[in-house]
Protein backbone atom coordinates (compact mmCIF):
# COMPACT_ATOMS: atom_id res chain seq x y z
CA UNK A 1 0.00 0.00 0.00
CA UNK A 2 1.26 3.46 -0.94
CA UNK A 3 0.24 6.86 0.34
CA UNK A 4 -1.13 9.71 -1.75
CA UNK A 5 1.59 12.34 -2.21
CA UNK A 6 -0.91 15.15 -1.58
CA UNK A 7 -3.52 14.07 1.02
CA UNK A 8 -1.55 11.11 2.49
CA UNK A 9 -4.48 8.69 2.09
CA UNK A 10 -3.68 5.06 1.37
CA UNK A 11 -3.69 4.05 -2.29
CA UNK A 12 -3.16 0.83 -4.25
CA UNK A 13 0.22 1.21 -5.97
CA UNK A 14 -0.65 4.76 -7.12
CA UNK A 15 0.98 8.10 -6.43
CA UNK A 16 -2.34 9.88 -5.96
CA UNK A 17 -5.71 8.65 -4.72
CA UNK A 18 -7.71 10.71 -7.24
CA UNK A 19 -7.12 13.07 -10.19
CA UNK A 20 -7.94 16.14 -8.07
CA UNK A 21 -5.04 15.35 -5.71
CA UNK A 22 -2.72 15.01 -8.71
CA UNK A 23 -3.92 18.39 -10.09
CA UNK A 24 -3.68 20.12 -6.67
CA UNK A 25 -0.18 18.71 -6.10
CA UNK A 26 0.97 20.01 -9.50
CA UNK A 27 -0.47 23.46 -8.76
CA UNK A 28 1.23 23.61 -5.37
CA UNK A 29 4.56 21.91 -6.03
CA UNK A 30 4.79 21.19 -9.75
CA UNK A 31 5.26 23.08 -12.98
CA UNK A 32 1.77 24.66 -12.80
CA UNK A 33 3.17 27.04 -10.20
CA UNK A 34 3.39 30.63 -11.51
CA UNK A 35 6.75 31.77 -12.79
CA UNK A 36 8.01 28.27 -13.59
CA UNK A 37 8.45 27.33 -17.24
CA UNK A 38 8.87 23.75 -18.35
CA UNK A 39 10.84 22.61 -21.37
CA UNK A 40 9.42 20.46 -24.14
CA UNK A 41 11.71 17.61 -23.12
CA UNK A 42 10.35 17.70 -19.55
CA UNK A 43 6.79 17.76 -20.86
CA UNK A 44 7.47 14.63 -22.91
CA UNK A 45 8.94 12.88 -19.83
CA UNK A 46 5.86 13.77 -17.77
CA UNK A 47 3.60 12.57 -20.57
CA UNK A 48 5.43 9.21 -20.77
CA UNK A 49 5.37 8.82 -16.98
CA UNK A 50 1.61 9.48 -16.78
CA UNK A 51 0.80 7.35 -19.83
CA UNK A 52 -1.52 4.49 -18.96
CA UNK A 53 -2.29 5.85 -15.47
CA UNK A 54 -5.93 5.17 -14.66
CA UNK A 55 -7.94 5.91 -11.51
CA UNK A 56 -9.12 2.92 -9.49
CA UNK A 57 -12.66 1.52 -9.74
CA UNK A 58 -13.60 3.12 -6.41
CA UNK A 59 -12.48 6.57 -7.59
CA UNK A 60 -14.35 6.19 -10.91
CA UNK A 61 -17.53 5.34 -9.00
CA UNK A 62 -17.11 8.43 -6.80
CA UNK A 63 -16.58 10.63 -9.89
CA UNK A 64 -19.69 9.11 -11.51
CA UNK A 65 -21.84 9.81 -8.44
CA UNK A 66 -20.50 13.36 -8.17
CA UNK A 67 -21.47 14.19 -11.77
CA UNK A 68 -24.81 12.34 -11.70
CA UNK A 69 -27.80 14.59 -12.41
CA UNK A 70 -25.65 17.61 -13.36
CA UNK A 71 -26.51 19.12 -16.78
CA UNK A 72 -23.69 18.96 -19.33
CA UNK A 73 -22.87 21.98 -21.47
CA UNK A 74 -22.74 21.75 -25.27
CA UNK A 75 -18.94 22.18 -25.14
CA UNK A 76 -18.66 19.33 -22.62
CA UNK A 77 -20.75 17.03 -24.86
CA UNK A 78 -18.54 17.91 -27.87
CA UNK A 79 -15.39 17.09 -25.86
CA UNK A 80 -16.85 13.72 -24.83
CA UNK A 81 -17.73 13.00 -28.46
CA UNK A 82 -14.17 13.86 -29.59
CA UNK A 83 -12.70 11.65 -26.87
CA UNK A 84 -14.82 8.68 -27.98
CA UNK A 85 -14.09 9.14 -31.67
CA UNK A 86 -12.37 6.11 -33.16
CA UNK A 87 -12.88 3.93 -30.07
CA UNK A 88 -14.16 0.43 -30.87
CA UNK A 89 -15.90 -1.41 -28.05
CA UNK A 90 -15.41 -5.13 -27.56
CA UNK A 91 -18.29 -7.54 -28.12
CA UNK A 92 -18.65 -8.16 -24.37
CA UNK A 93 -18.80 -4.40 -23.70
CA UNK A 94 -21.43 -3.91 -26.41
CA UNK A 95 -23.55 -6.71 -24.94
CA UNK A 96 -23.29 -5.11 -21.49
CA UNK A 97 -24.44 -1.74 -22.93
CA UNK A 98 -27.32 -3.44 -24.72
CA UNK A 99 -28.48 -5.16 -21.52
CA UNK A 100 -28.22 -1.91 -19.54
CA UNK A 101 -30.41 -0.07 -22.09
CA UNK A 102 -32.94 -2.90 -22.47
CA UNK A 103 -36.49 -1.80 -21.62
CA UNK A 104 -35.52 1.88 -21.35
CA UNK A 105 -37.17 4.36 -23.72
CA UNK A 106 -34.82 6.71 -25.51
CA UNK A 107 -35.86 10.38 -25.54
CA UNK A 108 -37.29 11.65 -28.82
CA UNK A 109 -34.64 14.16 -29.91
CA UNK A 110 -36.25 14.86 -33.29
CA UNK A 111 -38.56 17.57 -31.92
CA UNK A 112 -35.91 19.15 -29.66
CA UNK A 113 -33.54 19.50 -32.65
CA UNK A 114 -36.07 21.41 -34.77
CA UNK A 115 -36.21 25.20 -35.16
CA UNK A 116 -34.79 26.94 -32.03
CA UNK A 117 -33.54 23.61 -30.66
CA UNK A 118 -31.17 23.10 -33.57
CA UNK A 119 -27.61 24.46 -33.06
CA UNK A 120 -27.59 25.66 -36.70
CA UNK A 121 -30.74 27.78 -36.14
CA UNK A 122 -30.37 31.30 -37.66
CA UNK A 123 -33.65 32.84 -36.56
CA UNK A 124 -35.76 31.15 -39.25
CA UNK A 125 -34.83 33.58 -42.07
CA UNK A 126 -33.31 31.89 -45.11
CA UNK A 127 -33.23 32.23 -48.92
CA UNK A 128 -35.14 29.88 -51.17
CA UNK A 129 -33.99 28.54 -54.55
CA UNK A 130 -35.42 31.59 -56.37
CA UNK A 131 -33.53 34.15 -54.28
CA UNK A 132 -36.47 35.27 -52.09
CA UNK A 133 -36.20 35.65 -48.31
CA UNK A 134 -38.46 33.14 -46.53
CA UNK A 135 -39.47 32.98 -42.86
CA UNK A 136 -40.08 29.85 -40.80
CA UNK A 137 -43.75 30.25 -39.76
CA UNK A 138 -45.62 26.90 -39.72
CA UNK A 139 -48.68 28.49 -38.08
CA UNK A 140 -49.36 30.70 -41.15
CA UNK A 141 -52.49 29.49 -43.04
CA UNK A 142 -50.72 29.74 -46.43
CA UNK A 143 -47.31 28.39 -45.32
CA UNK A 144 -45.57 26.01 -47.72
CA UNK A 145 -43.52 23.38 -45.85
CA UNK A 146 -43.68 25.60 -42.77
CA UNK A 147 -42.26 28.66 -44.58
CA UNK A 148 -43.71 31.87 -46.04
CA UNK A 149 -42.06 34.51 -48.25
CA UNK A 150 -40.97 37.58 -46.33
CA UNK A 151 -42.29 40.18 -48.82
CA UNK A 152 -45.79 38.70 -48.45
CA UNK A 153 -45.54 38.97 -44.66
CA UNK A 154 -44.47 42.62 -44.95
CA UNK A 155 -47.50 43.41 -47.14
CA UNK A 156 -49.84 41.47 -44.83
CA UNK A 157 -48.57 43.42 -41.82
CA UNK A 158 -49.07 46.69 -43.72
CA UNK A 159 -52.65 45.81 -44.78
CA UNK A 160 -53.57 44.00 -41.57
CA UNK A 161 -54.93 40.88 -43.32
CA UNK A 162 -53.80 37.64 -44.97
CA UNK A 163 -53.11 37.77 -48.71
CA UNK A 164 -55.02 35.44 -51.01
CA UNK A 165 -53.07 32.93 -53.17
CA UNK A 166 -54.02 34.84 -56.35
CA UNK A 167 -52.56 38.11 -54.97
CA UNK A 168 -48.96 38.82 -55.97
CA UNK A 169 -46.50 41.22 -54.31
CA UNK A 170 -44.32 42.86 -56.98
CA UNK A 171 -40.81 44.24 -56.29
CA UNK A 172 -40.70 47.66 -57.96
CA UNK A 173 -36.87 47.82 -58.29
CA UNK A 174 -36.70 44.10 -59.32
CA UNK A 175 -34.54 43.37 -56.25
CA UNK A 176 -36.01 40.24 -54.66
CA UNK A 177 -34.20 40.87 -51.38
CA UNK A 178 -35.45 44.46 -50.94
CA UNK A 179 -38.61 43.86 -48.92
CA UNK A 180 -39.26 47.43 -47.74
CA UNK A 181 -42.92 48.41 -48.04
CA UNK A 182 -41.96 51.35 -50.32
CA UNK A 183 -40.56 48.82 -52.82
CA UNK A 184 -43.63 46.52 -52.81
CA UNK A 185 -46.82 46.74 -54.89
CA UNK A 186 -49.83 44.44 -54.54
CA UNK A 187 -51.62 43.18 -57.65
CA UNK A 188 -53.50 40.15 -58.93
CA UNK A 189 -51.75 37.25 -60.64
CA UNK A 190 -53.03 38.16 -64.13
CA UNK A 191 -51.94 41.80 -63.74
CA UNK A 192 -48.49 40.71 -62.63
CA UNK A 193 -48.07 38.44 -65.68
CA UNK A 194 -49.19 41.28 -67.98
CA UNK A 195 -46.74 43.67 -66.30
CA UNK A 196 -43.81 41.37 -67.05
CA UNK A 197 -44.98 40.87 -70.66
CA UNK A 198 -45.15 44.64 -71.16
CA UNK A 199 -41.70 44.97 -69.62
CA UNK A 200 -40.29 42.38 -72.05
CA UNK A 201 -41.81 44.28 -75.00
CA UNK A 202 -40.20 47.51 -73.81
CA UNK A 203 -36.81 45.79 -73.50
CA UNK A 204 -37.16 44.50 -77.09
CA UNK A 205 -38.02 48.01 -78.30
CA UNK A 206 -34.98 49.44 -76.50
CA UNK A 207 -32.78 46.81 -78.15
CA UNK A 208 -34.17 47.70 -81.61
CA UNK A 209 -33.50 51.40 -80.95
CA UNK A 210 -29.88 50.59 -79.94
CA UNK A 211 -30.55 51.69 -76.36
CA UNK A 212 -29.58 48.20 -75.19
CA UNK A 213 -26.75 45.97 -76.40
CA UNK A 214 -25.80 42.40 -75.61
CA UNK A 215 -22.21 41.80 -74.47
CA UNK A 216 -21.23 38.28 -75.62
CA UNK A 217 -18.07 38.24 -73.48
CA UNK A 218 -19.97 39.04 -70.24
CA UNK A 219 -23.16 37.27 -71.37
CA UNK A 220 -25.53 40.09 -70.41
CA UNK A 221 -27.30 43.20 -71.72
CA UNK A 222 -25.55 46.53 -71.21
> How confident is the model over 14-39, as pLDDT tens digits?
777 877 787 777 767 665 555 556 67
- For residue 171, the cross-strand partners are 184
Enter the pTM of the model: 0.47
Separation of alpha carbons 199 and 193, rounded Å: 10
Mean pLDDT on 121-144:
86
- CATH code assigned to 125-221: 3.90.75
**Sheet containing 133-136: which strands, arranged edge to edge?**
125-127, 133-136, 147-149
Angle at 108 between CA 103 and CA 112, to 5 degrees: 155
Separation of alpha carbons 24 and 38, rounded Å: 18
Ranges in the chain annotated CATH 3.90.75: 125-221
Separation of alpha carbons 13 and 4, rounded Å: 10
Mean pLDDT on 70-96:
81
Note whether 111 and 117 are within 8 A (CB).
yes
The helix/strand/coil state of 134 is strand
Amino acid sequence: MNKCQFCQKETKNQKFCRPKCCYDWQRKYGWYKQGIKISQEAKEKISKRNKGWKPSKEIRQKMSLASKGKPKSLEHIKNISKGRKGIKFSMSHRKALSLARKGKKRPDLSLSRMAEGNPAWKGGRTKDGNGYWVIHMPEHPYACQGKIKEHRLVMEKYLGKYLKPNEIVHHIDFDKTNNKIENLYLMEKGQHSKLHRDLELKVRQMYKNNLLKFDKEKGKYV
